[in-house]
Structures are given as structure tokens and as C-alpha cells.
Chains A and B, each alone.
Chain A
């Protein structure tokens, strides 16, 4: 196939694109210019996605909230559905005065919204939008996303502490207690599909779920099926959405950790919140719901998987699935009442944590039990067979090796599940 059409990443595309290479010939090495060009394009794409997604989600939140409460929601700004309402709000927020209380630690107060923003944005670096469409395909992508998203709470706590207000401090402390507790079941729940897939690379995990929807990891075994629901509950709590939004409980704490913020700094917290909502939904889609595949084997059966066209379809499918989960989070927020702080902690430590531990244990025992019963470790096609392209290829040059190395190689490859 034409290498430009077969390119699975922007860097490969630029490396093969004659127009780009003549444009950047002064940089010398085509690999380097492709890397720099791809980095710039990725940065612009992700930044604009991170900016636009909250605009849409905040509008969606208002519309959904309105409908659930038997109202219309925004109707005027920008035509029939009020779809420019968030933009109007954004312009209003930029114009507002940038207040800083005298009792606050001025410097920390000003810098903490950026910390929250950066932590939430960094998660998108390793989040694949389609087969190979990822800013940086890190081998431990899932681990990386969980690590940077747990840093978001630092900004929230610093905001609460530096405001010099008791409401804000209470909000920050609640957030700390909540996130430190909910991180544990969240990590365990994400490990369950990882145990089934045998990889922490989100692109690889996505590729394993190609084909029909029963290949999705949520249907891989009963434990991953249950883990999806536990994960979604915990993820909702980890992005401090209702019914777990104790950090900004309006009924008790005015606005929690962002009581003292106004204007554009206040809106950074919300951009980060909606960005994180998309990120945790994206992880749920990648780990459980088939990633960028439609589940109907449409793109794969005509051989488009991994090409530019297939990736465009996949990207649309991934964003649609993730937005669906964001919609569920909004729906839950306007349906359920807020829990008390002790109920939030009890839900995590007494129920979600033991449940996720049990599911983890079950997920590790399941392949062994299945193997002794049926002779194979998964109900459907083995996961390693579905990976495209093959995770391990034979070496290009034949290295002279002792006779026994062939068996050792096969044994090692068998562990990877690729052969």
C-alpha cells in the first residue's frame, strides 16, 4: 500500500510526505523534522480539543439539567438550542475582575488553578483517540494517566489552603480525603482489564478489542463486566462529580475549594473538571468498551483498520462513546442527591474497595479455572491474536544464536500471548 495512506501516525505521515519534507528541508534529518512537525500538530490538536470539549459539555450540562428539571435550559444565545451560551459565559468570565483576597497566600492562590489545569491536560498526552492516534504512545500509558490525574488534587488542595478562607480549606481537605481513598479502588478496577489484556499500553489494549462487540473487554469475563460499573462509579467520584462533589458542596460550603476564585481563574477549575470527565470516560471506553471500534466489525472487515480513513472513523466512534459516558455522568448528577461526607467515605472503604479486591482476585483466577475446564484461557478468540499489527515480529537480521535459544524465544513469546 502507499506508505502515506498506510501511515498510522502523523509522524509517519509527515516522514513520507514529500511536500512536508521539501518545506522543512533546512532542518536536515527527515526523521527529526517529522518528529517536530508531529509534536506541534499534536499539541495544537489536543489543546483545541481540551478547549472545545468543556464548551460543549457545559452547554450539554445546562440542557440536560434543564430537561431533567422540566425546564428548557439555554435557548437564546446562538440560535435555537442556545449552543453559544458557554462561549458568552466564557467572554463574561474573562472580563470579570481577577480578585485575590487579602487573607490569601497571594502567589499560591494565583498559581494553583494552573496546576489543576496542567494535571488534567497532561492526561490527554497518553490518551489514544484512534488506532495509533495518540500524542505519545507510552508503553505504560494507563499508569501514566492515572499518575498525572492523581496530581490534579494537589492544585485543589493548594487552592483551598491558600485562599485563607475556612470554606475553601474544608473543601480542599474533603477533596484530599476523598481522592486519596478513591484512588485505591480506581487503580484496582483498571488493573482488572489489564490482567485480561496483558498490557499497560492503551493502544495495544484498544487493538485487542477489534471485531465484534463480544471482543470488548467488558464482555471478556464476568469480573471485567462488574469491574466496569465499579470503575465508572469510582471515576465519577475521582473527578468530584455529584453525588460525590463534597469538595464544592454548595449547600454547606458556599462553593468549597473555589469559594474565593472569580473570573478566568475560576473557569480553569471547570475546564479541568470537564476535561477530566472526558479523560476518565475515555479510559473506560478504552479499557472496557472497545476503544475506537464500532463493535460491529465494520472497519476491520473491509481492511481499513489502521489507515487514515479507518482512523478518522475510529476517532469519531471513540469521541462519541466517551461523550456518551460523559452524558451519563451529567445525568447521574442531576438525578441523585448528594451524599454526606461520611457516606462518601463509607461507600468507598466499606463497599467499593472490598468489591474491587474481590473482582481482582476473580479476574486472576478466571483464566486458570477456564483453562482447566475448557482448555483455553478466554471464552472467545484469544486476546493476543487480535492485536494489529503483531506486537512482536521476528528479527530483521538473523542473529547467530545457540540451538536452544529457539525454544527459549518461543517460551518468552508465549508469555506475551503473541503466538
Chain B
């Protein structure tokens, strides 16, 4: 075996084991994660694509929500911690070129963001999702509609 062949085998095995170890790769499923003004959360509108996706954003800095994907026994099969700004900050801006802000209005109108998950064999057992507000510790469990790959 040449050096290149050996290298390729090693890299392939490492690559494969990394995929298997993290279970964070697959095709892409994106959801809209919505928080209403009362703080209720939902994960809706799944959109499945054939794009390869390895989830490298499972512990976002300053995360305020934890989303867990659960199987039929409500056992966790996947999780990610995400940040979403739940306030809307409306600002009046000075027409002068001095760069200053004139007024501020902060509202809790609810918020929405896109959250991506890998769609692999393990994830097809998804039946529920749990959302935990990491600040208030409130949790909600709901049924999830997981798209078939």
C-alpha cells in the first residue's frame, strides 16, 4: 500500500467515526422556532432538503433555549442550545451624520428563527420535542412532525 492509499484509508475511517460519534450529520431539516408574546414555544414548518449537514452549532454562545428531540418513549435523541433575541428593539436614528440614536422602544412581540437539524436514521425516531427556557427553566413538550428522508 502506498503512503497515499494508507492516508486515504485512515482519513476515511476517521471521517466515518466522526460522523458516527457525533450523530450530528445527515441531510438537512430546518424548522421555524417560534416564541409567542406569552412565551409559548413551537417548532413548526419542517423543510427537508438533500443538502448534507453536520450540525456544528449545537451550543450557541449566550443560549437562552434548549431544544431536545425525543423518541416515542420521550428519551432524548438530539439536543441543541440556541440563542434567540426575543425582544424587538426599534430605534429612531438621527438624520445628522453623527451616528447617534434618538429613541428606543423595546417590545416583547414574540420572535421566530430558523433552526436546522441533521436528518439521519437516528432522527427518524423523533416523536416529540422539548423546549427549555434556560433563564426561567420552564419546559414544554409537544409532538413533532419529523419529515421522512
A and B associate in one complex: no
Q: Which residues of B contact A (CB under 8 A)?
A: none
Residues on A facing B (Cβ under 8 Å):
none
